[in-house]
Structure 1
């Protein structure tokens, strides 16, 4: 169905479902989520790059926030195609860059998936194999992994713009009202090639769904078990037996639980879209049929869930990480920091650096006389 001219809409409940899903997700909810997510992820980047937050884990989370910013911005730009008059000749420039927006969308989605898998593996090594963690869980190694992930995802999705061709269609003879022409995006010859379609379906399902899913489920199970055992051991100790080692383990558990929460929320939001992609391998109904409308309707809803995931990680950090909340307050609301007469040090175990201890900066630097108890 051409989007520029008014045709009789099919009397199909699945068509109405698709239109309703598209309206509410793309035109009502998405702008709200975009603004919240953009602000939240920008705040996260600022907080996680503070000196006191430096760690290999936070290096991954900073990269994830940047990837989420790219995804949210691109997805919001793509939503314009569902607005009235988006297919008019006035929007020709938009449609020229539209295939490349799809490329950035696919690449940033892949980056988010593999960054989540990467910090899950890193956390597993740090918690379950701490001696190896001193070698592998470093900021410099995390930066190298992030670079490799970004390059890999950009390269394997580089054919996305080639799957589309932008066409200008003249007004049909049986239509007397509306614009003289309409700009549409149609599948290219490459996209309709059966070998290419089959290869890309299975490649995407394997590399961006199945393999990361196995990594996340398996290694998060190990992490959850390790945290559970650690808490049972701590509960069995007396107050006198609780020492520095126990406090260090408690801090490790907090970091691990934060990342487990991020991964679980990631799976809840990403799995439906992944399942829909797999379903399309075996069930790809012709255009303008009930099955086609149904898949598009659910696709809009599930893609919106991915957007919610990209916009909401900072909420999880605030809810689960005391250190994130305190750093956020110290960064953006220094007047709210209450000075106390305590001289202390803060120890971080999120990554194994040359020295894991560093002094909390004097509050003279923040306009106070004493130091703050974090």
Structure 2
């Protein structure tokens, strides 16, 4: 939320329920010294929360989201749920960057005096564009989280319908549809502010201030669009949906854990993934609870005995944290994600186990993803050696002779397993002898 002082009154420009402790001045106010800084601002608190914590968490969050996108984009991770998580990581990355531009960097100047040019020149010019962009990605992040829970609900509670509903193609449609909806919903925010040039004769400097537009000064627009519609679309609908869906998922997880010995490997994987995403939703609720409270206070104009500034600053930080910690949740609860992370970004010799290929993926994990059993069956049928020679490929003894695989540097197994790779400096004879020993 953008808390903005206009004259003697305070209103809010909402990105999340906690965006923007930045002042949008009245067109007749020429006091540039406070045109971007709320009068009751605690500059030290703003410096610590935004200037230090938000920037630090933001940098780490962007790094974590980039790593998540790299891992989730691997061929062996291809699935509908992972595509949704990639979309969530992308919009969260943009949300973090916009938070740093709108709050993190501006939080440094009022206390330290650094970044004067950014605070009074750069920020007023980019804010009218960055602010609507921030609202778009924040809306997309909320509804992608709801879509992820909906996908898990179908996969866990209605597995027979998952094959038709939880597909990679449909996941793309969901992501594109959510982004289009988010952009259309937040389109009016492009016309909420204007930039006005100010010159200080005393200091002989030129600065720029954000001024409210005629649209932004309309009381009906503020009451309906900014307060009520925002409360319904950004909090009531997502919170209720997440609560209902994840309650059903949690109940199914508890039931499945009691019968865990009778579950197939695929069912155990789906339950484990649902558990991991429950953690994502719990963090979402925790980080967005304070913004929800602030939005309710403003919508119903509840009188409180203290300033909202500290709550606004804290809620800004919580929104940034929510977009930054999914990577940590994936590493803690996602076994496959953690294994790929250790192999791709850590020492392979320390973390590779005996069942993994040189690319760090088990033979089965590279073929099955999100319930794709058919591809796994086809693979097993194509690689199983039939002793009676019927219905499968036989590359063992035929007509009294032994045939060896013709591809250099690879071999096939009678049973699914990792393929052995040989150094390039070995000759063909050594490879053939080794292959014979393996087959025998």
* Common fold: TM-score over 0.5: yes
Tell me the SS of whatever aligns to 1:34: helix
Q: What is the number of equivalent residue pairs in this alignment?
A: 344
The match for 2:370 is 350
Output the CA distance in 2 between the equivalents of 1:254 and 1:23: 41
Map 1:98-113 onto structure 2 (within 5 A): 98-113=127-142
1:190 equivalenced with 2:201 (yes/no): no
CA spacing shift, 1:361–1:69, aligned 2, 3 Å: farther
**Residues of 2 paired with 1:30 and 1:89: CA distance?**
17
Is the aligned partner of 1:332 residue 2:332? no
Go from structure 1 to structure 2 and tell me whether the alpha carbon gap of 1:45 and 1:349 turns closer, same or farther (over 3 Å shift): closer
TM-score by length of 2: 0.71
Q: Is residue 270–residue 306 contact of structure 1 (8 Å, CA) maintained in 2?
A: yes
Alpha-carbon distance in structure 1 between the residues aligned to 2:119 and 2:279: 45
**Which stretches in structure 1 are left out of the alignment for 5+ residues?**
235-241, 370-374
Query: CA 1:265/1:360 → structure 2, altered by over 3 Å: closer, same or farther?
Result: farther
Identify the residue that residue 222 of structure 1 maps to in structure 2.
248
Contact 1:162 1:188 in 2 (8 A): yes
- State the 1:364 CA deviation: 3.2
Per the TM alignment, residue 88 of structure 1 is displaced from its structure 2 partner at its CA by 5.2
Q: Deviations over 1:310-334 (max 9, x none)?
A: 1110000000111000111222233
Which of residues 233, 236, 239 is equivalent to 1:213?
239
Aligned mates of 1:341, 1:156 — CA distance in 2? 49
- The CA RMSD measured in Å over matched residues stands at 3.1
1:151 aligns with 2:169: no
> Do the aligned partners of residues 195 and 319 (structure 1) sit closer, same or farther apart at CA in structure 2, a change above 3 Å counting?
same
Seen in structure 2, the aligned counterparts of structure 1 residues 90 and 75 have a Cα distance that, compared at 3 Å, is: closer
* Matched ranges for 1:16-165 at <5 A: 18-79=42-103, 80-82=105-107, 83=109, 84=113, 91-165=120-194
Normalised by the size of structure 1, how large is the TM-score?
0.82
Sort the Cα spacing of 1:76 and 1:315 in 2 relative to 1 into closer, same or farther, 3 A. same
Q: Highest CA radius of gyration, 1 or 2?
A: 2
Q: Does 1:364 align with 2:406?
A: no
TM-superposition CA deviations, 1:269-291 (whole Å, max 9, x none): 12211221221112288xxx985
Residues 277 and 221 of structure 1: CA distance in aligned 2, closer, same or farther (over 3 Å): same
**Within-5 A mapping of 1:163-312:** 163-171=192-200, 178-200=203-225, 201-234=227-260, 242=261, 245-283=263-301, 294-312=307-325
Aligned twin of 2:326 = 313
> Is 80-89 or 112-121 further displaced after alignment?
80-89
| Alpha-carbon distance in structure 1 between the residues aligned to 2:56 and 2:185 | 31
Report the Cα offset of residue 247 of structure 1.
Answer: 3.0
The structure with the greater share of residues assigned to helix is 1
Q: Give secondary structure in 2 for the equivalent of 1:191.
A: coil
In 2, are the aligned partners of 1:75 and 1:105 still within 8 Å (CA)? yes
Structure 1 segments of 4 or more deviating over 6 A?
357-361
Tell whether the 8 Å contact from 2:64 to 2:324 is kept in structure 1 after alignment. Answer: yes
Shift of 1:168: 2.6
Name the structure, 1 or 2, with higher relative contact order (CA <8 Å, separation 6+).
1
* Structure 2: distance between partners of 1:366 and 1:282: 71
In the TM superposition, residue 352 of structure 1 has moved relative to its aligned partner by 4.8
Q: Given that residues 89 and 182 in structure 1 are in contact (C-alpha distance below 8 angstroms), is that contact kept between their aligned partners in structure 2?
A: no
Task: Say if 1:37 and 1:311, in contact at 8 Å, map to a contact too.
Answer: yes
| 2: CA distance, partners of 1:365 / 1:54 | 28
Query: Tell me, which stretches of 5 or more residues in structure 2 are unaligned?
Result: 6-30, 357-361, 380-415, 425-430, 432-440
- Mapped contact 1:138–1:352 kept (Cα < 8 A): no
Matched-pair contact (CA < 8 Å) for 1:252–1:349: no
In 2, the alpha carbon distance for the partners of 1:318 and 1:168 equals 49
Q: Secondary structure at the match of 1:328?
A: helix
- Asked whether the 8 Å contact 2:120–2:207 carries over to 1, the reply is no
Give the secondary-structure state (helix, strand or coil) at the position aligned to 2:264: helix
Partner SS, residue 340 of structure 1 = coil
